[in-house]
Structure 1
Amino acid sequence: MTPGWPDHLFVLIVMLGAFPFGGWIAYRRFLARATRIGDRALVQEYRNTLLWLAGLAVATWLVWWIGGRPLAALFATPPRLPDGPDIAPPIAFGAGIGLLARPVLAWRIPRIAQAFRRQIAPIAAFLPRTGAQLRWGLIVSLAAGLCEEIGYRGYLMPYLGAALPLWGMIAGGALIFGLAHIYQGWVGTLMTTLIGAALAGLYLVCGSLWWPIALHAAIDLSAMVTAYVVLRLPRTNAP
């Protein structure tokens, strides 16, 4: 990939501007709406989030297309790390199974539920407590897995790789991905940065964007369902 001025503008305006700062402002507005209209605000915010995610994917594709690059290249890159394709998919698959088992563990083991409740406390307002909220949250999770991976791994990593060594590409992409979640506070931003680095490594090892898409979706689906479980559990069950 040889970046041009549309690529530089896209990264500067969208990835370093709109998503970190626009997302933070949007989240503050959501919190204000939630105090006024209650549970309805979260479904509205999930719908708004879907528009943000769709906009990211469409904008990424347009900039990619303007650069004269084939669409298939957005989803696959030659493996950059040795012997990865034999190891990474089973690891990612096992991690996905573990993530999807987390809601069951939280439901059955009060200590795990309490620990997860503390972990999600800074963004609890953004997590589902009702069936309708959960349904929209699951849609958001799937959309985030697809759209964010297209933007932050499929596009951003080749962009950074044109100027940075391998470690710089991974670190820079993970940091920008983490900044997009700055509304979650510094702990959430740090955790998201680390997740971004892991997804970047998986992408480079496998040479395909579909594995990070699947694992990203599993992470978000697990968080949504586990949050629904623990936020609905009576706190008296917790030690």
Structure 2
Amino acid sequence: MSAATALPASFADFGPAQLAAGIVAVYLVVGEPFVGYVLHRRFEGRLRTDPAARRSFYRRLLVLEWGLALIVLVVWLAAPGVSAAEVGLGWPTRWPGPFTWAAVLGLLLLVLLSTRALRGGAVAGPPPEVLRRTRPGEARHAEPPGHATLALLPRSRSERRLFGLVGVTAGVCEEWLYRGFFLAVVAALVPALPVGLLVLVAGAAFGLAHAYQGLSGVLTTGVLGGVLAAVYLGTGSLLLPVLLHAAIDLRFLLVPSSALPAALR
């Protein structure tokens, strides 16, 4: 696997922004998993009593993601030795290789199958009486795999509109954060790191950011993050990863509310 992306050759390229770049990179790996976990558990607690909880959570996600993306943009602008091409801001310089295309096609196949499974019928959830007699979080062991993700999916028309914005935001902001900026910092800190290891690092960081989804969610999003990193490194641009990421998240708009757990509506 070869890389078309021109990554920073040294951490010195970040100039006066070195400290800020390091802090943001550490936050993405260590802080974001914790913050995401806490926010999601609070959201699940509110979901059972507040009909506006999902819309409120979507708005909070929009503010947090665009806010962090703006901070990273400022840090990059303060790094005089790091060009736009070195953080993926440009048109693709070439198409991905056969291995990357195979990974993308495999990922899209899994996405289509999972979406079809959700559309096919209602998803079982914990009995409503279990959720009523426990405090938020206590019924977690009774929840099916993917419960945290299902709780996020929109039910009403207003929720779907906001979720559409969240899906596009995830595509733009998370690719900028975890592929463009984060990989530039990693490559600058360890210049000799092979492309394959950069892909693994990107996948691990992205998977950890979804710790609130449990082990299966971490593994699934970790694979997604790795594939998107391979596409980014193979094309030299964030454009294709952004489009793929947004499409993968927006596919949930195809799932009718009747196919989602009644206990989480």
- What is the TM-score when the length of structure 2 is the normalising length? 0.72
Q: 1:157 to 1:86 in 2, by over 3 A?
A: same
Q: 1:227 to 1:60 in 2, by over 3 A?
A: farther
Matched, 1:8 2:22: yes
Of residues 46, 61, 82, the one that matches 1:49 is: 61
Shift of 1:98: 8.9
1:110-189 residue pairs with structure 2 within 5 A? Answer: 110=121, 120-162=146-188, 163=190, 164-189=193-218
CA–CA distance in structure 2, aligned partners of residues 66 and 210 of structure 1: 23
Conserved 8 A contact 1:102-1:222? no
- Give the AA of the match of 2:60: N
**3-state SS of paired residue (1:185):** helix
The RMSD of aligned alpha carbons is 3.4
Deviation per residue, 1:26-80 (Å, 9 max, x gap) = 111112222331x310000000000111022111111111211334543348989
Matched, 1:220 2:254: no
CA–CA distance in structure 2, aligned partners of residues 88 and 168 of structure 1: 15
Shift of 1:8: 1.2
- In structure 1, the partner of 2:40 is 27
The number of residue pairs the alignment matches comes to 226
CA–CA distance in structure 2, aligned partners of residues 58 and 128 of structure 1: 26
Conserved 8 A contact 1:77-1:204? no
Shift of 1:93: 8.7
**3-state SS of paired residue (2:155):** coil
- In structure 2, the partner of 1:237 is none
Percent identity, please.
Answer: 30
CA–CA distance in structure 1, aligned partners of residues 223 and 98 of structure 2: 23
- Is 137-146 or 118-127 further displaced after alignment? 118-127
Deviation per residue, 1:7-29 (Å, 9 max, x gap) = 211111x3123311111111111
**3-state SS of paired residue (1:139):** helix
Which consecutive unaligned segments of at least 5 residues does structure 2 have? 1-7, 12-17, 125-143
Matched, 1:36 2:49: yes
Shift of 1:225: 3.1
Shift of 1:95: 6.9
- In structure 1, the partner of 2:31 is 18
**3-state SS of paired residue (2:146):** helix
- Give the AA of the match of 2:59: R
Which consecutive unaligned segments of at least 5 residues does structure 1 have? 234-239
Q: 1:50 to 1:194 in 2, by over 3 A?
A: same
Q: 1:15 to 1:227 in 2, by over 3 A?
A: farther
CA–CA distance in structure 1, aligned partners of residues 97 and 44 of structure 2: 43
Shift of 1:124: 2.1
Q: 1:93 to 1:175 in 2, by over 3 A?
A: closer
